[in-house]
Amino acid sequence: GAVVSQHPSRVICKSGTSVKIECRSLDFQATTMFWYRQFPKQSLMLMATSNEGSKATYEQGVEKDKFLINHASLTLSTLTVTSAHPEDSSFYICSARDSKLIFPYEQYFGPGTRLTVT
């Protein structure tokens, strides 16, 4: 099946610094990728939709200047958490869909990145 990877799997950073998380589709091209955030014992919340070659679409309440998304190629999207604070500590998960497939199709999820801000 299709594989989505994320890097790093875990990261600890100090308050005020920025952290970049990568999401890669390994064996398919993805014009659209999605970024989710999951707090402990809660469900996944969609943060933004990342579109290759254009600006990301953010969900209501998600600060676009704080969570910078870049989808520069058909296999890579990055999420940068700028000026991170302890409340940004969470499990960040990306997903992607194969550009060749038409609806209905499944989205493939990455393994997640656990961010801890100290």
Partner 1 sequence: DAKTTQPTSMDCAEGRAANLPCNHSTISGNEYVYWYRQIHSQGPQYIIHGLKNNETNEMASLIITEDRKSSTLILPHATLRDTAVYYCIVRSALFGNEKLTFGTGTRLTIIP
Contact predicate 64/56, CB 8 Å: yes
Among 22, 91, 99, 116, binds partner 1 (CB under 8 A): 91
Contact predicate 110/7, CB 8 Å: no
Closest listed residue to residue 51, CA positions, set 27, 76, 26: 76
Label residue 16 left, alpha or beta by phi (over 0 means left) and psi (-120 to 50 means alpha).
left
34 binds partner 1 (CB under 8 A): yes
13 binds partner 1 (CB under 8 A): no
Among 7, 11, 22, 45, binds partner 1 (CB under 8 A): 45
107 binds partner 1 (CB under 8 A): yes
Among 93, 98, 115, 117, binds partner 1 (CB under 8 A): 93
**Residues 85, 18: Cα–Cα separation, whole Å:** 10
Taking contact as CB under 8 A, which single stretch among the options 14-22, 63-71, 72-80, 88-96 is the one that binds partner 1? 88-96
Q: Is 42 helix (H, G, I), strand (E, B) or coil?
A: coil
- Contact positions vs partner 1 (CB under 8 A): 4, 6, 32, 34, 36, 43-46, 49, 91, 93, 95, 97, 103-104, 106-112, 114
